[in-house]
Structure formats: C-alpha cells, structure tokens
C-alpha cells in the first residue's frame, strides 16, 4: 500500500493527474484496505491480481511489438468512471455485449523485448474498482528508456449500448480523446496537446477543455456544454439548452445546431454560426463573424405560438473583422442597431433597404426597424470592418 500511495502522490506532483483524480485514487486505496472483498466490489488488491492475470497478447507486426492489457467486468452499478492517460489516447464506444471491457494497447518501435514490454505494462497501470466507481490511470515514465513508448498507448473502453453513468471523466496528455454514444449526467473531457472528438453523446452537463488541439462535438444532446480551447478550433452540432465556446487562436463553427442560449468568444479567429437559437452572443478580437439565422423565414408561423416574445436576439462584436448576418427570405420583424467606425454598414431584407452608410473613422450608430413588429433583434459593433445584414432564399443557403 505504501508503494501505491507514493506512486499516486508522485503522479500528482508531476502533473500527470489532477489533484482531484489523485485524491479519488487515494480514497479508493484507503477503502480497499477496510472493505471486505466481494465479487460485486473488488478491492484494489484484488484488481492488482487481475492486472497480473489479465489477458495480454503479444503480436508481431510491421509496426513493432504490441502488448494488450484487458479487463472485463459488469458495470451496471457503476456510477462514476474516470480514465487518465498521460501519454496516449482514449477511445470510448458502445457494443452489443452485456459486459464492459477496458483494453490498453501498447506499441513500440525501438526493439523492446516482449518481456520488458509486459513488465512495463503490468507495473504502470493503476486501477481502482469499487461497487460504484471505476478509476483507471497509468503511472508516469521513470526514465528516458520508458519515454520511447510516448504516444503509443491507446485505451479503449467498450460498454453496453444503454449503459449510463452519473459522472464520466477522461483526460490525456499528448494524445487524442474520441467518445461515441456516451450517456451520463455529467462529463469532463480534457486534453493537452491533443484533439477531442465527441459524437452522439447525451448528457446533462459537459465541460471540455483542450490545449493545442481542436474540439469537435457532433450530434450532441445536452442541457449545457462548455467548450474551451487554446490554439485550436471548435466545431459543434446538436441540440442544447446552453452552449458556451471560448477559444484563443482558433475559429468557432456551428452547424445543424438548435439552442436556447449560445455564447461564442474567440481571440484571433473567425466565427461561423449556422443555427436556430433564442439568444446568441458572438465576440471576436481579430476575426470575421458570419451568422445564419435558421428558421427565420418561418417567423409568422412561429410568432403565432410565441406569446409575443422575441424569436431571436443576436449580439455581435468584433474589433478587426467584417460581420455578415443572414436571415431567410420572408423574415419579418427584424430590428436592431449598428455601431461602427470604418467600412460600410448595410441592411437589406427581402429586397428593401433599411440602412446603408459608410464609416468615416468616427464612431457612428444606425438604428433600423423592419415593420411594426419586433421578432428578431440584432445589434452589431465593429471598429474596423463592414457590416452586412441580408436575406437569402432558404434553397440558396449552404447545407448545414
């Protein structure tokens, strides 16, 4: 137990796992010393035996030696799952089997013997498996020789199709994360020097952060999603109550998206949003902003059931960049304000011009209104860039 505690503490100190992850492992280690062993809730010691007895296959290929560590178990009562791979990638997917499988695959290209590869594999994996939680991590490398395996680790998690959790976490350093069809109340997905790809995930809450890597979230269904990147782009589709995307040095793109509230912020990047929304805020320090307001051509039909409320509210601000807002042909009730200094500010809806002015370096404000009703509000601020608000036939809009 002393060696295990020391290993976990070292991983925290070296930043291989977070303090929260380390405390969870230490707590599980402590519980494993006091809880009786059982098939439903195996202790850490029991899992160490499983590691030694796990199905390990060594196979020779054109890419060098490979070792597989595999563990299978019933996860039907698991509420919390957590995976941390410091140097490697994580994959999560569903399958037709009734049990859960966790498989770690290692490959190397520098002449390691199969014995050395197995020894490294067995001593490096740390598993805490209780009745309601499963925590998997891998110890950091000890020396330069160990680092020869860098980026050669892939952890694959396969669960039954309807398996769901209260909490799911996955983190990598120098590796990608790919998750398909995750069902959970909450999820935290983080990478450093790696991309994140999420597809068809259904959650109440998602927090995802990437440094030096993109985040791609497709066909998501959730209450709230918070996505943050540094030096990476963000791409999102799906249905959300609240969506927040922040990136530095990267673009943000929304497609096939339905949301109540959307907040998009980027520094040094463009924003391209194609969405149905109630409220949206777009801010870019140095970048163009383009928004297509979907279903705006159905304004009268939607207004009949809206109880007089605003159908869409859009706020756009950029310091250096052009702004283009597109409503669907037939839209009614568009109103708003332009604040600009340089460039042309123009609003043409259904062939009728409501604003058209050129900037002269002084800050100018134009208010405009399409008809007596107010269904769509748009406020745009730019210092160095043109503003264009227009309508386009739905059939001419690019597919989402």
Number of domains composing the chain: 1
Domain residues for the domain of 95 are 1-163
User: CA dihedral in degrees (92, 98, 100, 101; nearest 10)?
Assistant: -90
Is residue 72 included in any domain, yes or no? yes
Residue 193 exposed, middle or buried by CB count within 10 Å (0-12, 13-18, 19+):
middle
Is residue 295 included in any domain, yes or no? no
Helix, strand or coil, per DSSP, at residue 301: helix
Q: Checking DSSP bridges between strand 125-129 and strand 133-138, what pairing results, if any?
A: antiparallel
Is residue 41 included in any domain, yes or no? yes
CB–CB of 136/102 below 8 Å?
A: yes
How does pLDDT run along the chain (400 residues), one tens digit per residue? 556 666 776 676 666 666 666 666 766 666 555 443 333 333 333 333 433 333 333 333 334 577 889 999 999 999 999 999 988 899 999 999 999 999 998 877 566 777 777 787 788 899 999 999 999 998 876 555 555 544 478 999 999 999 999 999 999 998 999 999 999 999 999 999 999 999 999 999 999 999 999 999 999 999 999 999 999 999 999 999 999 999 999 999 999 999 999 999 999 999 999 999 999 999 999 999 999 999 998 988 888 877 778 999 999 999 999 999 999 999 999 999 999 998 999 999 999 999 999 988 889 999 999 999 999 999 999 989 999 999 998 866 655 4
For residues 356 and 110, give the distance between their C-alpha atoms in angstroms, rounded to a whole number: 67
Is residue 105 included in any domain, yes or no? yes
Is residue 269 included in any domain, yes or no? no
Q: Nearest CA to 339 among 357, 312, 351?
A: 357
Is residue 96 included in any domain, yes or no? yes
What is the pLDDT, as a whole number, of residue 24? 67
Q: Calculate Rg over the CA atoms of the chain.
A: 26
Helix, strand or coil, per DSSP, at residue 299: helix
Is residue 231 included in any domain, yes or no? no
What is the pLDDT, as a whole number, of residue 299? 87
DSSP string for residues in 200-233:
S-EEEEEEEEEESS-EEEEEEEEEEEEEEEESS-
Q: Checking DSSP bridges between strand 376-384 and strand 334-342, what pairing results, if any?
A: parallel
Is residue 66 included in any domain, yes or no? yes
């Amino acid at each position: 137990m002393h060696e295990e505690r020391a290993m976990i503490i070292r991983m925290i100190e070296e930043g291989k796992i977070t303090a929260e992850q380390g405390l969870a492992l230490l707590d599980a280690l402590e519980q494993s010393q006091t809880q009786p062993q059982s098939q439903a809730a195996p202790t850490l010691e029991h899992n160490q035996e499983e590691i030694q007895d796990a199905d390990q296959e060594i196979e020779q290929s054109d890419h060098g030696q490979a070792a597989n560590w595999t563990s299978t178990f019933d996860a039907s009562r698991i509420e919390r799952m957590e995976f941390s791979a410091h140097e490697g990638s994580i994959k999560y997917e569903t399958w037709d089997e009734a049990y859960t499988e966790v498989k770690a695959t290692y490959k190397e290209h520098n002449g390691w013997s199969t014995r050395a590869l197995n020894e490294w594999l067995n001593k490096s994996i740390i598993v805490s498996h209780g009745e309601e939680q499963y925590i998997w991590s891998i110890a950091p490398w000890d020396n330069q020789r160990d680092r020869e395996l860098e980026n050669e680790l892939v952890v694959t998690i396969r669960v039954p199709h309807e398996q769901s959790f209260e909490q799911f976490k996955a983190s990598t350093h120098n590796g990608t994360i790919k998750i398909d069809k995750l069902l959970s109340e909450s999820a935290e997905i983080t990478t450093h020097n790696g991309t994140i790809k999420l597809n068809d995930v259904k959650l109440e809450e998602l927090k995802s952060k990437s440094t030096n890597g993109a985040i791609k979230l497709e066909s998501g269904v959730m209450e709230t999603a918070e996505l943050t990147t540094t030096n990476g782009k963000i791409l999102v589709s799906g249905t959300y109550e609240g969506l927040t995307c922040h990136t530095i040095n990267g673009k943000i793109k929304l497609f096939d998206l339905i949301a109540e509230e959307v907040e998009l912020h980027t520094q040094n990047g463009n924003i391209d949003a194609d969405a149905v929304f109630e409220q949206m805020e777009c801010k870019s320090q140095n970048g163009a902003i383009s928004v297509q307001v979907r279903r705006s051509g159905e304004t009268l039909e939607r207004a009949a059931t809206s109880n007089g409320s605003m159908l869409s509210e859009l706020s756009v601000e950029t310091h250096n960049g052009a702004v283009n807002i597109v409503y669907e042909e037939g839209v009614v009730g568009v109103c708003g304000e332009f604040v600009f200094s340089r460039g042309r500010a123009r609003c043409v809806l259904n062939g009728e011009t409501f604003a058209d002015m050129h900037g002269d370096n002084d800050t100018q404000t134009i208010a405009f209104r399409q008809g007596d009703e107010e269904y769509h509000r748009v406020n745009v601020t730019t210092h160095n860039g043109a503003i264009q608000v227009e309508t386009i036939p739905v059939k001419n809009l690019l597919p989402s």
